[in-house]
Structure 1
């Protein structure tokens, strides 16, 4: 059985990889809106992050209720089930503005859980 720590480690690793590629390649919101290859490239890590978050225990979610767990899982569901209706401007904003903060907080949560 995969633990919450395992799932958060995956979220952290995938998030850091995505942010690294975005920074190295100079990918921005406008580029994501216009380039289907970039859309595919950023969607897969977001699927993975959302799936890991969706499988976190209720206890962990309740313990860290300040995190947007349901929004992250919901983004995954929207990307998977409504791909043609994806708002790529919003996805670009999530990657540029929200993902770095979320991943930093996941790293903090991991440190707390490992030291407990």
Structure 2
């Protein structure tokens, strides 16, 4: 019962979110899955680490597919996302914590900058 309520709440959150909020959710989700992958690697749980890494990769694919190419900055985002994707794949193959930390740091920077942009847009709007 409680699980269904949580799933309904989460589903409603996604359906009613703005595109900006959805991007923020993707960044936060990626950070959550990177932490899971790192924890699984430390626990020597290869399958769990692989599964979490695949989720990060899927988020990066989603971020790349939703870029608005009408803006020149989108090309720069695409390059960074592609780099992060390649590094995540490499980390998954090698089960490398250092590479995951590098990708995690990039996601933190994206997320924090995105949060600031949302706040500025709300103040101006």
How does the TM-score come out when normalised to structure 1? 0.57
Normalised TM-score (structure 2): 0.54
More relative contact order, 1 or 2 (CA 8 Å, 6+ apart): 1
Q: CA deviation at 1:114?
A: 2.0
Match of residue 55 from structure 1 = 68
- Residue ranges of structure 2 left out of the alignment (5+ in a row): 1-17
Q: What does 1:1-116 correspond to in 2, within 5 Å? A: 6=19, 8-23=20-35, 25=36, 27-28=37-38, 31=41, 35-52=49-66, 54-55=67-68, 57-58=70-71, 61=73, 69-75=77-83, 86-88=89-91, 89=96, 92-116=100-124
* Matched residues, number: 96
CA distance in 2, matches of 1:46, 1:110: 20
Q: CA RMSD in A?
A: 3.6
Pick the structure with greater CA Rg: 2
